[in-house]
């Protein structure tokens, strides 16, 4: 069972109240009349507080009743929001006010637009009353167009404006280069060419040893075995160093862009080898770059969502299908309440 409102579970410390109540007992001291008491000033009777467990079964019933009540509240939906506007904090304020007034949401509650606003609204739509309407006012590039048209149980109007384009930050790849002196320059020239290719969208940083951010290790050390602590997602092994990696004996073959690559998985990472390591001319280097880009595709760009209106689809299922009033918890709560009343009445008699 999922909790629609898990914050209700923070009320569990309320269980301390019946425990505290059952741990105390007020016992009146018995007054014995004395012959000389008439010469003493009158005093009210005193009470002595004695800590002991009382009515353990009744205490158990009351604790279980409180737990059942909290669980029922946490699992029950209480729609409380009315007409609401989700506002992009980075949008122009004058344009936002204009769109809200034009849509007739001048008196609606305003909320900041969360990240991935459409998915967030789909997940929390249960908080809105059935007659509520929603308006989303945001820059177009703040809402990625979903692959499928979302369905909501409330009418949702989306108004977007073209925002300033955001420059794509260049990514950085860390490479550990372990090569003999005769091939060092060839490898460095290769990654320098990689830096210049692709509009400098990816920058390659070379180091002598791998670190936590290293994604590629180039091993060209004439059959010398690499240190045991070296690990990376990918290894480029020159054809003269394959004997140091027994996994390459059963490597699979892949031909991309005219480059023949052999690869095998190992505890150190995925091993790659080719006769083109390192490339000996510019054409081979260019073909190797294109082949490696095909093997390492970047994420697809997100398309901005245009202004549109989502009609209420009453057949749309809620994001949490079992987030509804739990009937059996209500029955358990009622039974526990009846037992608690019976035990309380029996104790008094």
Whether the model clears a pTM of 0.75, i.e. scores above it, the answer is no
> Per-residue pLDDT tens for 274-290?
988 888 888 888 888 88
Pick 246 or 45 by higher pLDDT.
246
Q: 236 and 214 in contact (C-beta within 8 Å)?
A: no
The mean pLDDT of 32-45, rounded to a whole number, is 68
| pLDDT of 261 above 80 | yes
Query: For residues 120 and 306, what is the distance between their CA atoms, to the nearest angstrom?
Result: 18
Written as one string, the DSSP assignment of 50-97 is EE----HHHHHHHHHHHHHHHHHHHHS----B-SEEEE-TTS-HHHHH
Per-residue pLDDT tens over the stretch 118-164: 888 888 888 888 889 999 999 988 887 776 778 888 899 999 986 54
Out of 40-54, 80-94, 205-219, 269-283, least confident range: 40-54
Q: Are 139 and 307 within 8 A, CB to CB?
A: no
Do residues 84 and 132 make contact, with C-beta atoms less than 8 angstroms apart?
A: yes
Contacts of 163 (CB under 8 A, 6+ apart): 90, 91, 139, 140, 141, 142
Token pair recorded at residue 118: 């459409």
Q: What is the pLDDT of residue 60?
A: 86
Token reading at 46? 């005193």
pLDDT greater than 80 at residue 230: yes
pLDDT at 303: 66
pLDDT digits (tens, 9 = 90+) for 10-33: 888 888 888 777 776 554 555 666
Between 73 and 67, the more confident residue is 67
pLDDT (average), residues 44-69: 73
The pLDDT value given to residue 167: 47
Q: Of 174-178, 222-226, 291-295, which one has max mean pLDDT? A: 174-178
In Å, how far from its chain's centre is CA 335? 38
The residue with greater pLDDT, 300 or 155, is: 155
Residue 346: what pLDDT? 80
> What integer best gives the mean pLDDT of the chain?
80
Query: At residue 75, does pLDDT exceed 90?
Result: no
Residues sharing a CB contact under 8 Å with residue 183, sequence separation 6 or more, in sequence order? 220, 238, 278
**164-184 pLDDT, tens digit each:** 444 445 578 899 999 988 888
Does 163 or 84 have the greater pLDDT score? 84
């Amino acid at each position: 069972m999922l909790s629609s409102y898990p914050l209700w579970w923070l009320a569990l410390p309320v269980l301390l109240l019946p425990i505290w109540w059952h741990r105390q007992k007020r016992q009146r001291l018995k007054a014995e009349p004395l012959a000389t008491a008439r010469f003493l000033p009158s005093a009210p009777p005193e009470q002595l507080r004695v800590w002991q467990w009382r009515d353990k079964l009744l205490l158990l019933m009351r604790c279980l009743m409180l737990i059942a009540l909290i669980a029922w509240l946490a699992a029950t939906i209480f729609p409380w929001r009315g007409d609401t506007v989700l506002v992009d904090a980075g949008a122009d304020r004058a344009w936002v006010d204009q769109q809200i007034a034009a849509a007739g949401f001048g008196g609606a509650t305003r909320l900041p637009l969360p990240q991935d606003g459409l998915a967030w609204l789909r997940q929390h739509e249960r908080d809105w009353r059935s007659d509520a309407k929603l308006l989303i006012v945001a820059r177009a590039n703040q809402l990625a167009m979903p692959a499928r048209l979302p369905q909501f149980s409330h009418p949702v109007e989306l108004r977007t404006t073209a925002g300033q384009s955001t420059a794509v930050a260049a990514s950085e790849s860390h490479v550990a280069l372990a090569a003999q002196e005769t091939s060092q320059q060839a490898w460095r020239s290769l990654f320098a060419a990689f830096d210049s290719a692709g509009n400098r969208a990816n920058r390659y940083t070379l180091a002598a040893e791998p670190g936590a951010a290293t994604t590629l290790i180039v091993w060209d050390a004439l059959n010398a075995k690499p240190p045991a602590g070296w690990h990376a997602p990918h290894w480029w092994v020159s054809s003269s160093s394959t004997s140091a990696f027994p996994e390459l004996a059963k490597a699979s073959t892949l031909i991309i862009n005219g480059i023949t690559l052999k690869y095998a998985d190992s505890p150190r990472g995925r091993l790659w080898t080719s006769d083109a390591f390192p490339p000996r001319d510019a054409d081979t280097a260019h073909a190797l770059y294109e082949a490696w880009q095909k093997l390492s595709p970047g994420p697809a760009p997100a398309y901005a969502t245009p202004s549109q209106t989502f009609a209420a689809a009453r057949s749309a299922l809620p994001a949490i299908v079992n987030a509804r009033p739990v009937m059996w918890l209500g029955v358990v709560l009622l039974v526990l309440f009846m037992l608690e009343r019976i035990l309380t009445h029996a104790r008094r008699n």
